[in-house]
Amino acid sequence: MQDLSALQSDIEARIAAAQDLRALDEVRVAALGKKGEVSLKMRELGQMSPEERKTAGPALNALRDALDAAIAAKKAQLEAAELEARLATERVDVTLPAAPRPRGAIHPVTQVMEEMGAIFADMGFVVADGPDIETDFNNFTALNFPPGHPARDAHDTFFMKAELDGAPAVLRTHTSPVQIRTMLGQKPPIRIIAQGRTYRNDSDQTHTPMFHQTEGLVIDKGTHMGHLKGCLMEFVAAYFEREVEVRFRPHHFPFTEPSAEMDVRYERVGDEIRIGQGDKWMEVVGCGMVHPNVIRNCGLDPDEYQGFAFGFGIDRLAMLKYGMPDLRDFFAADARWLSHYGFPALSMPNLATGLS
């Protein structure tokens, strides 16, 4: 059995020399694999006499057990070293800044503009546009505000130093000048909405110097007040996504005759405003039949063409539907407010799948 102990120390030396798990496994296969040195020796037991086998058998078993143990020990040692090496290279630096989540949301004003656009598009309106800086003529004169008329003061107008068409330019006080631009630029029938920024020198919980309006204008033959009422009633039902009781109150605008304001029924339950029921009325839109003078100012014959117009405060509509109590927060550019009240960027409001 002299050669067995030589074999054992030879294999043990190779086990000790193995640099990694693969090299160790090669040593194992060469010694204990099917055709390994130890296995071949065990196969020789079959040709031995029973006497020889009595000593050779246990000696070979002992050799195999010793080698198994040596390999297992070396394997554990190599695995531990490998783990150490990995931990050293893959260390996580917890002081690095965290990867930011994608941020940003659609502002409620933009959301409501898109909702209004979807509803009026469904009724056959197209979108028209005009600039924030307007001529005095488009903002006032053509809309039947005579020069020097006190209604101009009522608008708290921001007049500019620069002149346009021979008069100080104004930041438009309403979207109604788009009515003039549209009637001067295209022939009836006309059915447009115009949305955008408007400006008045006014600031409190429900007024900001910059706010938003949606204008509507319909010009056609035989247009009457019933069309106006039906259009606005259909709008509020679609916008608030429920039955809403409305009332029309007589009002005055220079550019419509007759003029009205439409209120919606609501109630206050705690801090919450519930639209459509209750014992209170909230004004949501100014409207009326387009004044014959306005139609004439745009080169059309008021005996041939009539029409109606309306102007919504978008910010007010957004506050009512989405429960935001203070208008000034809308323009404070506070990311926390926007992430709370904002809308997902990829959901386009439409009537088929629901507006909001």
- Which residues are near ligand PHE by CB under 6 A? 174, 176, 253, 256, 286-288, 309-311
Contact status, residue 267 vs residue 278, Cβ threshold 8 Å: yes
In whole angstroms, the minimum distance from the beta carbon of 105 to ligand PHE comes to: 28
3-state secondary structure of 110: helix
Distance CA 330, CA 94 (A): 37
> 310 or 343, CB closer to ligand PHE?
310
Nearest residue (beta carbon) to ligand PHE: 311
In whole angstroms, the minimum distance from the beta carbon of 145 to ligand PHE comes to: 11
> 119 or 285, CB closer to ligand PHE?
285
> 130 or 286, CB closer to ligand PHE?
286
In whole angstroms, the minimum distance from the beta carbon of 135 to ligand PHE comes to: 16
> 265 or 291, CB closer to ligand PHE?
291
Nearest alpha carbon to residue 339 among 99, 115, 101 = 101
In whole angstroms, the minimum distance from the beta carbon of 294 to ligand PHE comes to: 10
Peptide bond into 168 cis (omega under 30): no
In whole angstroms, the minimum distance from the beta carbon of 197 to ligand PHE comes to: 13
In whole angstroms, the minimum distance from the beta carbon of 265 to ligand PHE comes to: 21
Phi, psi of 312 (to 5 degrees): -95, 145
> 28 or 152, CB closer to ligand PHE?
152
> 54 or 149, CB closer to ligand PHE?
149
Torsion of CA 314, 311, 217, 116, to 10 degrees: 20
In whole angstroms, the minimum distance from the beta carbon of 147 to ligand PHE comes to: 19
Distance CA 174, CA 156 (A): 11
Token reading at 81: 């070293």
H helices of 155-283, in order, are 177-185, 225-240
Based on the number of CB atoms within 10 Å of its own CB, is 196 exposed (0-12), middle (13-18) or buried (19 or more)? middle
| CA-based radius of gyration for the chain | 43
The residue written with tokens 């106006």 in the block is 228
Torsion of CA 294, 297, 300, 302, to 10 degrees: 40
> 36 or 188, CB closer to ligand PHE?
188
